[in-house]
Amino acid sequence: MAKTLGPVRRAFAPWDDPSATPLIRFEAITKRFGDFTAIDNVSLDIYEREFFALLGPSGCGKTTLMRMLAGFETPTEGRVLLDGEDISQVPPHKRPVNMMFQSYALFPHMSVADNIAFGLKQDGLPAGDIKARVEEMLSLVKLEPFARRRPDQLSGGQRQRVALARSLAKRPKVLLLDEPLGALDKKLREETQFELMDLQEKLGMTFLIVTHDQEEAMTVADRIAVMNHGSFEQIDPPSVIYEQPNSRYVADFIGDVNLLDGALETRGGARVFSSKALSNPLPVMPPDDTPDGSACIAIRPEKLSVSLTEPEQADGLAMLKGTVWDIAYMGDVSIFHVRLSDEVCTGQDKDETVPVLRATIANTTRLVERPIAWDDAVWVTWQADAAVVLPR
């Protein structure tokens, strides 16, 4: 990659190393349920110590793919390899992989300690070892005082920890997390995301998480695979997924984005993007091999600036004139909806063909002398390299 995008989490990128051997390999996997193709010929490598996220809307095949690794689904075509071994036909109870279920699936007739000990007992470990490991797991998830409780005597967050401890107790080669935080409230979910990351780093294990929550995937994962209709749209680290989406689908699915349709042209050696809906062409900086013609640009709302006075023209500055249509004050940021048109209009006579840009502006000062108000004429600007050119 020519340019580093966003913060680098840590010097860990085995996927960029051609000599690295993957821990998990999905090889040309197809899964059909009757006429329905849940997974359509996908291949994926996941490396040891990686925190990998499968992200997509419900029904995109992400859970099916994970369940194949656990052994609850078998591929119609293709193979699943773990440590170089084909495990496609190995039954779930013989796989060195454990899963944390979305519903937690805690055994209601067993205490917390017995739940955690369950997998260890199946391996026939000596009682002393089991006891020691259960205590270790209880302290790992800070649930020592609750060892003798039944699952129905615990809160949602505590149950989530028991499920995590139970799935970690056997020290699996891979831990599968199926929407692990879906049942928690927002604040607890955010806390737990960081705890999961710390835990994964501390244990040095490989985690595979399935989620439909893009923030969750962005927070915890080293790499994210964005799935749609049974195939991968993009597999990249979170910052690349966000800043360099490779398709309109990914750009739209991850975070907020402004999408403008038009055409890519070359004018006097420079690349510009133009559209009938826009008053002037916009400078863009696509990779050199991008052909001219029909295209779309994606600009994140926080990359935009809004000003009441006309900024000076500069090279590589994209500028559009518009009218403030709507303002949402969120405290930390304000969101401006700017119609790219000079005229002021009300809701009834809004022309749907006029594009509206969303700009997120950080409220960096407490008091502003002349805040931007409804119906103000404003200029929206951004740096040309902030816009990503995508095929339409």
Partner 1 sequence: MSAGGSSAWGRRLVIAVPYIWLLVFFLAPFVLVLRISLSEVAIAMPPYVPVFDLGAGWDRFVADLGRLSFANYEWLAGDPLYINSYLSSLRIAFVSTVLTLLIGFPIAYGMASAPRGLRPILMMLVILPFWTSFLIRVYAWIGILKPEGLLTLFGQTIGILSGDEQFRILNTTTAVYIGIVYSYLPFMVLPLYAALERLDGSLLEAAQDLGCPPLKAFWVITVPLALPGIIAGCFLVFIPAVGEFVIPDLLGGSDTLMIGRTLWNEFFNNRDWPVSSAVAVLLLLVLIIPIVAFQQAQQRQQEAAR
- Interacting residues toward partner 1 by CB under 8 A: 70-72, 91-94, 97-99, 101-103, 105-109, 118-119, 122-123, 166-167, 170
Residue 166 DSSP class: H
> Can you state the percent helix, strand and coil of the chain, rounding each to 5?
25, 30, 40
Phi-psi region of 375 (alpha: psi -120 to 50; beta: other; left: phi over 0): left
Q: 18 phi and psi, to 5 degrees?
A: -65, -20
Q: Smallest distance, Å, CB 98 to partner 1?
A: 6
Question: 199 to each of 78, 158, 182, 207, how far by Cα in Å?
Answer: 32, 16, 19, 10
Q: Smallest distance, Å, CB 54 to partner 1?
A: 18
Nearer to partner 1, 167 or 192 (CB): 167
Which SS3 state, helix, strand or coil, does residue 109 take? coil
Q: Smallest distance, Å, CB 67 to partner 1?
A: 9
> Which residues, 6 or more positions from 65, have their beta carbon under 8 angstroms from its beta carbon?
26, 29, 31, 39, 42, 44, 54, 210, 227
For residue 201, give the amino acid letter: E
Q: Smallest distance, Å, CB 280 to partner 1?
A: 57
Nearer to partner 1, 70 or 270 (CB): 70
Nearer to partner 1, 116 or 284 (CB): 116
Nearer to partner 1, 5 or 110 (CB): 110
Strands lying side by side in the sheet with 356-362 = 305-307, 377-383, 317-329, 333-339, 356-362
Q: Smallest distance, Å, CB 118 to partner 1?
A: 5
Q: Smallest distance, Å, CB 216 to partner 1?
A: 21
Nearer to partner 1, 103 or 279 (CB): 103
Structure tokens at 174: 């891979």
Q: Smallest distance, Å, CB 213 to partner 1?
A: 20
Nearer to partner 1, 25 or 170 (CB): 170
Nearer to partner 1, 169 or 196 (CB): 169
For residue 359, give the amino acid letter: A
Q: 15 phi and psi, to 5 degrees?
A: -70, -20
Nearer to partner 1, 12 or 118 (CB): 118
Nearer to partner 1, 176 or 260 (CB): 176
Cβ contact 55:226 at 8 Å? yes
Return d(Cα 164, Cα 104) in angstroms, integer. Answer: 8
Question: Residue for token digits 């609750």?
Answer: 146
Q: Smallest distance, Å, CB 83 to partner 1?
A: 18
Give the chain's radius of gyration (CA, Å).
25
Q: Smallest distance, Å, CB 103 to partner 1?
A: 5
